[in-house]
Amino acid sequence: MTKKSKIIMWIVIGVVAVALIGILLSDAFGAEEILFSELLTLLKKGEVEKLYVDGYNWQATLVDGTMVTVEGGPSIYDYMSFSMFMNDVGLSVDKLSAIDIQFADPNAGSIWSSLMPLLGIILVAVVFWLIMRSAAGAGNANMNIGKSKAQVQSNLKVRFSDVAGAEEEKEELAEVVEFLKNPKKFSNLGARIPSGVLLVGPPGTGKTLFAKAVAGEAGVPFFSVSGSDFVEMYVGVGAKRVRDLFDMAKKNQPCIIFVDEIDAVGRRRGAGLGGGHDEREQTLNQILVQMDGFEANDGIIVMAATNREDILDPALLRPGRFDRRINVNLPDVKGREQILKVHARNKPMAADVNFKTVARITAGFSGAELANLLNEAAILAARANKKLIGNLELYDGINKVLMGPQKKSRVVTESDKRCTAYHEAGHAVLACLCKHCDPVHEVSIIPRGRAAGYTMTRPETDDNDVSYNKLIDNICMSLGGRVAEELVIQDVTTGASADLQHVSELARRMVTQWGMSDKLGLVAYDSDQPVFMGMEYGNQSRGGYSQETAATIDSEIRRLIQEAHERAVKLLKENRAVLDNMSRVLVEKETIYTEEVAMLMKGADYKEVIAFMDEKEDVHKTNPFVNMTKPSKEHIVSDETESEEKSEEKTEE
C-alpha cells in the first residue's frame, strides 16, 4: 500500500467514525416509535415530559426518560396554534403547561445536525472516488469511451492457456501477439503487418475468448464493440462511433480493436432490398476508410468475429483490411477433452470421472456448451448436497445441454403418455431393425425442453461419413414414430412435425446436393448456402434450373420418403409385438437404455423387462456411461410437440 492510499484510508476511517458518533448522539437514533393515538393517551395521562414538534415530526421524552418518535402525526401547521390543537384533542391548558413544548427539531441548534448532511456528502464522495480508483488500478474499468460505446479493458488476465484444444489457431495468432509486443521489429524490416484478423466460426467456439487472449498475451488494451452497437436509428451515428473508436485506439497504441458480430455491419453492400445508402453501409464504409488509413507501423490490430462469413462484404476481405482469416472450428475429441479440463480446473471432480469418455460422447458440442455442461453438472451436484461432481451429474448435464431440462412436472395425460411411448418405440424398433442405423442408447418419454420424448442412438466409430444406405435408414427410422401412431392409434398426432421436417430436409439434400438420385444424376442443384435477402432475389430459378427439373426434384424427394415409409410400415407390422412391449415398458419406466432395448428386440415380454429393471435399478445411477460411446446431436430424434409451440406463442403475445 502506498503512503498516499494509507492517508486516504485513515481519512475514511475518521469520517466514518465521526458520522457514527453523530448518529449515536442524535436523539432520533434508538428512539422507540409509537402511534399518534398512543402519544395522545400518554399526553392525557401526563406521562410526557417534553414534546418537540416540527411540521409532521413529533418527538417526545417521557417522564421515565425514554424517548419516542411518533408515527402518523398530523402537521402542526394544520392548526393555527398549538393550544388550539390541544383543545381539539381535549387536553386542558394546565396539563399542557406541565409539559416542556418546543416547536422545532430538538436537534436544530446542535452542531451535529448541521454538519451531518455535509459529512454524509463527503463520505459518499470519498467512497465513490476510492471505488473508481481501485477499479482503475485493477485495470478493468469498463468505461464508456466518449460516444463510441466501446468497452476498453487493459491488463486482461486471459491467456492462450485458457483457450484449449485449438493449437493451429493459437500458432497463427501467436504471430499477432509478437507484432503487438514489438511493432518496430517488424516494420524496420519492411514487413507488412496484417491490419485485420477475421475469426470465423460457429457460435461458442471461443472467438471472443481468442481475441481477449491475444490482448492478454500481448499486454495491450482491448477495445471491444459489437457490430450491432453501430446500428442505430439515426444516420451518421454509426460512422461517428467508428471514428471515435479508432481515434481513441490511435491514442493507445499498441492495442486491439475487437468488433464482435461484424456481420451486423459488414454485410454485402447494396444487398438490402430498400434503398442503397443506409446507415449500415455508411458505418461499413467508415470502418474501411479507417483501416485503409493505417500507417505501416501503427500498432493497431483490428480483430473481428463472425459466424456468417458468407454474407460479408468482399471489400472487407481485401488486402490491407481483414486479410488474415482464422477458422475457429468446433473442437474434436481431443480438443473437447482439453476444454473440459480447462473448465474443470476450479471444480472438484470425483475420482472416477474420465474426461476422455465425456469428450467422446459430446460430439458436436462447442466450447461454450462444454463449459455450460460442467456448470450444469456442478449445479446438480450442489443441489444433491454432494462435495464432488460425479459421472451422474455430468451425464445429466449433457442431456440438459442437448435437450433442455427435464420437465417432470409437465402434466401428461395417460393417453398422451401412451401415444408418446408408441411414437418413441416406433423410432427405437426401426433403429434396431435398419442395418445402417446406429445402435439405440436411450429412449425416453420424459419431456425435455420442447420435446415430448426422444430416442438417442450412438455410432460405434468416430467417423462422420454418411452413405446412401445410412441416409435411407435414417429416414426410415425417423418416420418410425409417425408410422407407429398410424398403426396403433389409427390416427396421427401433430407430434411428428419435427420428424417430418428432418426427413424432408434429408431427402432434399440427398437429391439436390449429394447426387443420390438416378433420375437427376450427379448434379448439385443447390448449394448449402442460406438464401440471403436480396442477393439472389429476382433470379427466377435460384439454382439455375428449369421448372421441369424442379418438378423432378420434388417427385424424387417424394419417392424417397414414400419408399422409406412403406418399409417402415412393413417392418413395424412384422414386429408389432416388440412395439407393444416396448411402449408398455416406456409407460411404466419412462426411460430405457441399451440393455432393455436389446432384451425387447429379442422378444422379451414387458413384464420380464420391468422386473429386470426393478432389480438393477441403480446401475445406471452409479455409472451412466457404462456401455456408452457417442450420442451426438445429429443422432437424437427429439420430438417437439406442436401444441407446446402454440402455447409458447401465446405467452409471447
SS3 82: helix
The yes or no reply on residue 205 touching ligand ADP (CB under 6 A) is: yes
Give, as ranges, the residues between 453 and 482 that touch Zn ion (CB under 5 A): 481
- For residue 454, the cross-strand partners are 444, 638
Measured on CA atoms in the order 295, 297, 302, 308, is the torsion positive or negative? positive
In whole angstroms, the minimum distance from the beta carbon of 157 to Mg ion comes to 18
The yes or no reply on residue 339 touching ligand ADP (CB under 6 A) is: yes
Contact string 297-326 vs ligand ADP (x = CB under 6 A): --------x---------------------
In whole angstroms, the minimum distance from the beta carbon of 206 to ligand ADP comes to 3
C-alpha triplet 383, 589, 615: angle, nearest 5°:
90
CB nearer to ligand ADP: pick between 106 and 201? 201
What are the C-alpha distances in Å from 441 to residues 217, 228, 438, 457, 631?
Answer: 44, 42, 9, 5, 8
Contact string 9-38 vs ligand ADP (x = CB under 6 A): ------------------------------
The C-alpha cell of 567 is what? 418399409
Alpha-carbon distance 637 to 477, whole Å?
A: 9
Alpha-carbon distance 99 to 102, whole Å?
A: 10
Among 59, 151, 208, 391, binds ligand ADP (CB under 6 A): 208
CB nearer to Mg ion: pick between 208 and 457? 208
The C-alpha cell of 109 is what? 441548534
Alpha-carbon distance 538 to 109, whole Å?
A: 84
In whole angstroms, the minimum distance from the beta carbon of 164 to ligand ADP comes to 4
CB nearer to Mg ion: pick between 204 and 299? 204
Look at strands 48-54 and 100-102 and give their pairing: parallel
In whole angstroms, the minimum distance from the beta carbon of 57 to ligand ADP comes to 55
CB nearer to Mg ion: pick between 328 and 430? 328
Give, as ranges, the residues between 387 and 446 that touch ligand ADP (CB under 6 A): none
Q: Which residues contact 299 (CB under 8 A, 6 or more apart)?
A: 180, 183, 220, 253, 254, 255
Stretch that binds ligand ADP, among 115-123, 366-374, 543-551, 577-585 (CB under 6 A): 366-374
Looking up cell 470425483 gives: 350
Q: Which contiguous run of DSSP H or E holds residue 30? A: none
Stretch that binds ligand ADP, among 200-208, 308-316, 433-441, 606-614 (CB under 6 A): 200-208
Give, as ranges, the residues between 43 and 72 that touch ligand ADP (CB under 6 A): none
Identity (one letter) of the amino acid at 205? T
Among 39, 342, 479, 561, binds ligand ADP (CB under 6 A): 342
Stretch that binds Zn ion, among 97-105, 137-145, 221-229, 634-642 (CB under 5 A): 634-642
Nearest residue (beta carbon) to Zn ion: 481
The yes or no reply on residue 367 touching ligand ADP (CB under 6 A) is: yes
CB nearer to ligand ADP: pick between 215 and 452? 215
Chain-centre distance for alpha carbon 471: 33
Three-class secondary structure assignment of 92-121: CHHHHHCCEEECCCCCCCCHHHHHHHHHHH
In whole angstroms, the minimum distance from the beta carbon of 429 to Zn ion comes to 12
Stretch that binds ligand ADP, among 91-99, 160-168, 228-236, 445-453 (CB under 6 A): 160-168
Pick what 205 binds: ligand ADP, Zn ion, Mg ion, none; C-beta below 5 to 8 Å, kind-dependent.
ligand ADP
What are the C-alpha distances in Å from 644 to residues 119, 231, 449, 564, 641?
Answer: 59, 34, 10, 28, 6
CB nearer to ligand ADP: pick between 113 and 140? 140
Pick what 164 binds: Mg ion, ligand ADP, Zn ion, none; C-beta below 5 to 8 Å, kind-dependent.
ligand ADP
The C-alpha cell of 465 is what? 461419413
Pick what 266 binds: Zn ion, Mg ion, ligand ADP, none; C-beta below 5 to 8 Å, kind-dependent.
none
Q: Which residues contact 204 (CB under 8 A, 6 or more apart)?
A: 366, 367, 368, 369
The reply to whether omega before 319 is within 30° of 0 (cis) is no
Alpha-carbon distance 12 to 9, whole Å?
A: 5
Nearest residue (beta carbon) to ligand ADP: 367
In whole angstroms, the minimum distance from the beta carbon of 387 to ligand ADP comes to 24
The yes or no reply on residue 166 touching ligand ADP (CB under 6 A) is: yes
Alpha-carbon distance 352 to 389, whole Å?
A: 10
Nearest residue (beta carbon) to Mg ion: 208
In whole angstroms, the minimum distance from the beta carbon of 372 to ligand ADP comes to 8
Pick what 472 binds: Zn ion, ligand ADP, Mg ion, none; C-beta below 5 to 8 Å, kind-dependent.
none
8 A C-beta contact, residue 85 and residue 79: yes
Catalytic annotation, pick one of 424, 556, 596, 640: 424
Residue 175 annotated as catalytic: no
The yes or no reply on residue 485 touching Zn ion (CB under 5 A) is: no
Number of residues located near ligand ADP, criterion CB under 6 A? 18
Query: Where do contacts with Mg ion occur on this chain (CB under 5 A)?
Result: 208
Look at strands 300-306 and 196-200 and give their pairing: parallel
Q: CB-based burial of residue 546 (10 Å sphere; 0-12 exposed, 13-18 middle, 19+ buried)?
A: exposed
In whole angstroms, the minimum distance from the beta carbon of 544 to Mg ion comes to 36
In whole angstroms, the minimum distance from the beta carbon of 305 to Mg ion comes to 6
In whole angstroms, the minimum distance from the beta carbon of 583 to Zn ion comes to 13
Pick what 195 binds: Mg ion, ligand ADP, Zn ion, none; C-beta below 5 to 8 Å, kind-dependent.
none
Alpha-carbon distance 634 to 370, whole Å?
A: 17
DSSP state of 55: T
Give, as ranges, the residues between 489 and 518 that touch Zn ion (CB under 5 A): 499
Alpha-carbon distance 339 to 330, whole Å?
A: 11
The C-alpha cell of 316 is what? 472487407
Pick what 639 binds: Mg ion, Zn ion, ligand ADP, none; C-beta below 5 to 8 Å, kind-dependent.
Zn ion
Stretch that binds ligand ADP, among 1-9, 157-165, 386-394, 530-538 (CB under 6 A): 157-165
Phi-psi region of 221 (alpha: psi -120 to 50; beta: other; left: phi over 0): beta
8 A C-beta contact, residue 457 and residue 439: yes
Pick what 166 binds: Mg ion, ligand ADP, Zn ion, none; C-beta below 5 to 8 Å, kind-dependent.
ligand ADP
The C-alpha cell of 263 is what? 456481420
The yes or no reply on residue 164 touching ligand ADP (CB under 6 A) is: yes
The yes or no reply on residue 163 touching ligand ADP (CB under 6 A) is: yes
- Rg, Å, the chain Cα set: 36
Query: Interface with Zn ion by CB under 5 A: which residues?
Result: 481, 499, 639
Active site residues: 424
Q: Which residues contribute to the site for ligand ADP (CB under 6 A)?
A: 163-166, 201, 203-209, 305, 339, 342, 367-368, 371
